[in-house]
A and B are shown apart, each in its own frame.
Chain A
């Protein structure tokens, strides 16, 4: 069994197109939520989203490559490149042959699929483009990372809705810890801003017409986000041997299923996932000082998550800081767990807890210390990152700070 550390992170999000910009926005409490562009908002009952801005695909890829890469797959590779560069990996033939790539995506390239089917259903065409399948498949992000870097070991994509990338990072962590893979690229990506998908979210009646205000009495639902985040995971000894200072240690992963309702959460499942993560990490609840919450700002999530944190931590729940960075980067679905893992890792690294932005007044049913609006300086020993999916599938990651 190896101790596993994070040696690189890569981010593209509404808060900036690299890790540094993402972190600066988080600690300044700046939200990336704006009126949506590149979609016809006159057809949609909500107007705001957390979209990646100033992204020009030609700056990252040759045209022949973007022909077969949906936006979500491009985001995956952009984030992986940054993470790998930061980690300073020294590739050898043997490392390439055994390293792993595990990604999460909820929708994959469904935006490209929609464009293909639009021709069929709307424009009266009888054919769809032959790239529709390679663009649309949910594992495209994984495959493009693997091809880009010549990584030939275990590689797969997980799709567990809003917990996808937390499940992906957890699996990658376990593979590195057990020695199955000497290194893993893990994270998630998502590009959900296309008309059919937005209309489907509209029908769920969970998207706010205002902004994302997690745990606030005035909250009115989630705000969709897009982007990607990737981590480089490797054994502590490998990082030290290269003279690299890790960002944090990944110490635990817990999963559970509610086995209840397809959309309505209960506290029991998330609480069990948190307990499993603590047990996997051999952490006492009192060692945890911060939780990056799932915190979608829907009525159901925020109350249930509060109850599940209380159930897991007992009296210590009142000493914990809990914030939802979705208030700034939106709900990036399959990329959410990875973006929030980066937020957790950097809060340990820098000793600063990002706030829950857009907070107005407290909801008595969400009576945790939610770090309202202002980042807080706090040296925290360990943190959790919560991800709870529609369908009752829960994944929790635990990270620990390193000296």
Chain B
């Protein structure tokens, strides 16, 4: 999976859950500029967990400030998921 496709999928989840045009969601957009409030954030996190089949920790999610960090966090979670865990 390329980084580009992760980015596209994140942007699509944001656009779909917030019900805004995909073109309006850019990696540089701030949550504020897109009108994303605390409940929207929960909805987006829920959508991202389904889209990527991952679990996003509450504390990690709290520290995400912008879409760049969101894409980065998802990428890390996907890498962790792909790598075999130490005890296995």
Contact = CB atoms under 8 A, between A and B. Distances in A.
Nearest to B57: A45
Contacts of B42: 203-205
Interface of B: 37-39, 42, 45-46, 55, 58-59, 61
A57 interface: no
A264 B58 contact: no
Contacts of B46: 203
A164 B2 CA distance: 50
A132 interface: no
Interface in A221-277: 221, 261-264
A205 B39 contact: no
Contacts of B37: 261, 264
Given A203-B46, A205-B45, A261 B61 contact: no
Given A45-B55, A264-B38, 17 more contacts: A45-B58, A203-B42, A203-B46, A205-B42, A205-B45, A205-B58, A205-B61, A209-B58, A221-B58, A261-B37, A261-B39, A262-B39, A263-B38, A263-B39, A264-B37, A264-B39, A300-B38
Contacts of A203: 42, 46
A143 interface: no
A300 B38 CA distance: 10
A205 B48 CA distance: 15
Given A203-B46, A205-B45, A220 B59 contact: yes
Contacts of A45: 55, 58
Contacts of B59: 220
Interface of A: 45, 203-205, 209, 220-221, 261-264, 300
A204 B43 CA distance: 9
B83 to A, nearest CB: 22
A305 to B, nearest CB: 16
The 9 closest A-B pairs by CB, nearest first: A205-B58, A263-B39, A264-B38, A205-B42, A264-B37, A203-B46, A263-B38, A204-B42, A262-B39
A261 B39 CA distance: 9
B17 to A, nearest CB: 13
Contacts of A300: 38
B12 to A, nearest CB: 21
A143 B66 CA distance: 51
A261 B61 CA distance: 21
Contacts of B39: 261-264
B38 to A, nearest CB: 5
Contacts of A263: 38-39
10 contacts: A45-B55, A203-B42, A205-B42, A205-B45, A205-B58, A220-B59, A221-B58, A261-B39, A264-B38, A264-B39
A220 B63 CA distance: 13
A209 B45 CA distance: 18
A300 B42 CA distance: 15
Contacts of B58: 45, 205, 209, 220-221
Contacts of A204: 42
Contacts of B45: 205
Most buried by A among B37, B38, B39: B38
Nearest to A262: B39
B63 to A, nearest CB: 12
Nearest to B56: A205
Contacts of B55: 45
A36 B61 CA distance: 24
A380 to B, nearest CB: 35
B48 to A, nearest CB: 13
A378 to B, nearest CB: 36
A263 to B, nearest CB: 5
B77 to A, nearest CB: 15
A220 B45 CA distance: 18
